[in-house]
Amino acid sequence: MAEIDRWWNLHPDLLYQITEHLYFYDDYIRLRLVCKEWNSKLSSIPHHKRNPWLLLPGTTHDSSLNHILDKEQIYHVMFPDFDINDNLIYGSGYGWLITVVISNGAIRMLNPFTKSHLDLPPISTFPDVVRYHRDWWHVGEYVLVELSDGSIYTIDAISFHKYEIWKIVISSPPDNEDFMAVAIYGECGNLAVCKLNDKRWTDIPMEEISPLFQDVIFFQDKIYAVDFDTNLYEFDKKVIMDELGKKPRPQLVPLLTSIGGICEPPPPAKLATHYNCSMNKYVIGCVDGSLLMIVKHDDWAMKMLHICNKFDVFKLTKNSKEWSRIHSLEDYAVMIGYNSSVQMFPGKSPYCKANHIYYTDNQVVLHTPGEPSLQDMGILNLEDTKTNKILPNVEWVCPPTWLLP
Amino acid sequence: MTQLDRLSVYHWLNAWCIKPVGGALVRQEPEYILLALMGSPLKKIMLCSSEKEIFSVEEQVMVQHSVIINNMIEDGSYNHEESKIPLDCVDSKTLKKVIDYCTHHTHHHNDNQEDLEAWDAQFLNVDSNGLYDLLMAANYLEIRNLLDLIYGTIKNMIKGKKIDEIRRIFNIKDHGFTPEEEEQNRKEYPHFY
């Protein structure tokens, strides 16, 4: 065989092995640019990479950022119509970001790796929106919003777009026909779902008037959500999917019992709450079928600068009747924040360590609207409970979030 | 060199005042390696390159490093008296190098990390063709640590380099992109060129 063509013709398995040994995404891109053969044998998104990304929304002209981030590991992505000042990221999963456009309430999904994008139904289609209104007495547009108890309040559209959504989670990449997105929305922290090509978001009805959900995940064909009081709720995704598929679109009201409700196991031990402290809860599905609940305790300083104090981790093994407290994640790491809360297996990766919690801020309500703010992001080592803060002195207009390809 | 039986080995060792310590005693001479393990005579296996050249190497060494050879020995498909292991996809030059690697690592596994790494670096100081042959051989024989070493080297050949330089290093004369595709690539990732 001609000596010249040998590397060019490298077997896909060996090429794959080479990529397994690359730690920088840039080098992966380089491999794909070297020759057509390698380009065709390597997917544009390195699915096998276990390294999580921290998405830092900013502009390349932002000189303060450039100074701090002058390392090879930073990969710049250009999105021509992504305005840093007009977007907030409220979800991330499977390599996709879910953003809300502040000026018009559009909800978009963006993939920084493939540069594709698609739209979800806008905020104006959320179940609690009565209507948008514009009149002489108010500056700009405002929105009439209905609460679960029937009362109506008004709020200016810009603020509404910023604060209506707590988090959006997707079940899979959007090319999957079972794709579903669930959002925690509104004053009362309710859940709403939509499928691809839906025109509106559909509410998941609850008996509780204001459940105040704080996290939701798709796990093993179910939807699990944890509320303010650390109660775990379970919903059947298939049932919801089927109902959403019916025409005309029914309200999900009669299905409350069949959709799901509070999970059998009672919440983990009542956590002491005290003044000026908030707790943010996250729920994560594990590979062995169990669920983790992470409770993040935040202390607020006067300037809305919250500092993370500690974490509690609870585990609910499959089919178990109660939560148990655990102090080690063993070989796994978890990533929480605006991203879909996930468990990761870092293996030998130098960028993701086992038994660590990787967290970003997901309480945009605490920040002064329109102004850049400091973010509470860090990496907690569960073994010695020491935290490494991430970029603690940088202010962000749009908070960073984890992104897993 | 003829096989020495156990008794001869023992007398030889006594004559030289070398006492077997623990289970094994290994003398580090390339011509012959003596294993004074209670009971096992010296065992060698024959590896045959694609050019039909026969290499005699200590079984222990190859079994330790190559999963393929280890499996062959274990499942009994290799008969010590008669057979040789044909390796039709490995040429003599590469086979010798592979044997070199395995032998060195077996005998020097107690060396300190720095020395081993230095030796490895020197070992892999080959051109891209030689590296390709080594990769194929290590992959075929399933020699995990040699593979990791090779992939680490490849990673360094790619890391941070310009695309044209990578093409030159890997001897890729025709990249295979159409002119339009190549131009598109250069436009999208100008800092890689």
Please answer yes or no on whether B132 and A6 come within 8 Å at the CB atom. Answer: yes
Which pLDDT value is given to residue A259? 47
Please answer yes or no on whether A37 and B176 come within 8 Å at the CB atom. Answer: yes
Q: How far is B75 from chain A (nearest CA, A)?
A: 27
Best B89, B151, B181 residue to mutate vs chain A (most A CBs within 10 Å): B151
Say yes or no: B112 and B94 in one domain.
yes
CB neighbours of A332 closer than 8 A, spacing ≥ 6? A286, A343, A344, A345, A346, A354, A355
Please answer yes or no on whether A7 and B192 come within 8 Å at the CB atom. Answer: no
Quote the tokens at residue A138.
């108010």
- Decide if B171 touches A, using CB distance below 8 A: yes
**Which chain B residue shows the shortest CA-CA distance from A39?**
B177
Which pLDDT value is given to residue A267? 66
Give the closest of B129, B152, B158 to A30, CB-based: B158
Which pLDDT value is given to residue A154? 85
Q: Calculate the CA A366 to chain-centre distance.
A: 18
B150 part of a folded domain: yes
Q: Which residues of B touch A31 (CB under 8 A)?
A: 158
Which pLDDT value is given to residue B94? 94
Say yes or no: B101 and B14 in one domain.
no
Give the closest of A6, A27, A39 to B159, CB-based: A27
- The pLDDT tens digits for B94-122 are 999 999 999 999 988 888 889 999 999 99
Q: What pairing do the DSSP bridges indicate for beta strands A277-285 and A260-262?
A: unpaired
Pick the more confident residue, B37 or A243: A243
Q: What total of structural domains would you count in chain B? A: 2
Distance of alpha carbon A16 from alpha carbon A13, whole angstroms: 5
Is the confidence at residue B162, as pLDDT, over 70? yes
- The pLDDT tens digits for A73-123 are 455 555 656 777 788 889 998 889 899 998 888 999 988 776 678 999 999
Least Cα distance to B106 among B152, B147, B57 occurs for B57
Touching A: B residues 131-160, CB under 8 Å? 132, 135, 139, 147-148, 151-152, 154-155, 158-160
B175 part of a folded domain: no
Say yes or no: B54 and B119 in one domain.
yes
Pick the more confident residue, B20 or B119: B119
Which pLDDT value is given to residue B11? 57
For residue A339, give the DSSP letter.
B
Please answer yes or no on whether B151 and A17 come within 8 Å at the CB atom. Answer: yes
Q: How far is B161 from chain A (nearest CA, A)?
A: 8
The SS3 of residue A91 is strand
Is the confidence at residue B32, as pLDDT, over 50? no
Quote the tokens at residue B85.
């292991």
**Domain containing residue B149: CATH number:** 3.30.710.10
Domain with B17 in it: 6-38
Say yes or no: B20 and B80 in one domain.
no
Say yes or no: B27 and B118 in one domain.
no
Please answer yes or no on whether A24 and B159 come within 8 Å at the CB atom. Answer: yes
* Spatial contact of A57 and A368, defined as CB atoms under 8 Å apart: no
Task: Residue A50: count other Cβ atoms within 10 Å of its Cβ.
Answer: 17
Give the A-side interface with B, CB within 8 Å: 3-4, 6-8, 14, 17-18, 20-22, 24, 26-27, 29-31, 33-37, 39, 72
Say yes or no: B64 and B145 in one domain.
yes
pLDDT (mean) for B116-135 = 92
Say yes or no: B73 and B107 in one domain.
yes
**Which chain B residue shows the shortest CA-CA distance from A16?**
B151
CATH topology for A50-403 is Methylamine Dehydrogenase; Chain H (2.130.10)
Best B155, B156, B173, B188 residue to mutate vs chain A (most A CBs within 10 Å): B155
Please answer yes or no on whether B173 and A4 come within 8 Å at the CB atom. Answer: yes
Alpha-carbon distances of B162 from A1, A30, B25, B177, rounded to whole Å = 28, 8, 51, 17
**Which chain B residue shows the shortest CA-CA distance from A3?**
B129
**In A303-344, which ranges are continuous DSSP H helix?**
none
Please answer yes or no on whether B151 and A29 come within 8 Å at the CB atom. Answer: no
Where are chain A's structural domains?
A: 1-49, 50-403
Which pLDDT value is given to residue A316? 86
Say yes or no: B50 and B109 in one domain.
yes
Q: Which residues of A touch B171 (CB under 8 A)?
A: 3-4, 6-7
B34 part of a folded domain: yes
Say yes or no: B11 and B55 in one domain.
no
* Spatial contact of A53 and A92, defined as CB atoms under 8 Å apart: no
Sheet holding A213-219, edge to edge: A213-219, A222-227, A232-236, A260-262
For residue A262, give the DSSP letter.
E
Which pLDDT value is given to residue A68? 42
B20 part of a folded domain: yes
Distance of alpha carbon B173 from alpha carbon A29, whole angstroms: 19
Best B175, B177, B189 residue to mutate vs chain A (most A CBs within 10 Å): B175
Q: How far is A143 from chain B (nearest CA, A)?
A: 42
Say yes or no: B26 and B52 in one domain.
no
Q: What are phi and psi of A283, to 5 degrees?
A: -120, 140
The SS3 of residue A354 is coil
Say yes or no: B124 and B30 in one domain.
no
- Indicate the pLDDT class of residue B146, thresholds 50, 70 and 90: very high
Please answer yes or no on whether A34 and B128 come within 8 Å at the CB atom. Answer: no
Q: Which residues of A touch B192 (CB under 8 A)?
A: 26, 29-30, 33
Pick the more confident residue, B178 or A113: B178
Give the closest of A18, A22, A29 to B189, CB-based: A29
What is the residue-wise DSSP string for chain B? -PPPPHHHHHHHHHHTT----TT--B---SS---B--SSPPP-EEEEE-TT--EEEEEHHHHHHHBHHHHHHHHTT---TTT--EE-TTS-HHHHHHHHHHHHHHHHTTTS-HHHHHHHHHHHT---HHHHHHHHHHHHHHTBHHHHHHHHHHHHHHHTT--HHHHHHHTT-------HHHHHHHHHH-GGG-
- The pLDDT tens digits for B70-88 are 888 888 777 666 678 888 8
B171 part of a folded domain: no
Please answer yes or no on whether B175 and A35 come within 8 Å at the CB atom. Answer: yes
Low-confidence ranges of chain A (pLDDT < 70): 1-5, 23-25, 45-51, 58-81, 114-115, 137-139, 247-278, 299-309, 348-351, 364-371, 405
**Which chain A residue shows the shortest CA-CA distance from B167?**
A34
Say yes or no: B113 and B80 in one domain.
yes
B189 part of a folded domain: no
Please answer yes or no on whether A18 and B154 come within 8 Å at the CB atom. Answer: yes
* Spatial contact of A217 and A284, defined as CB atoms under 8 Å apart: yes
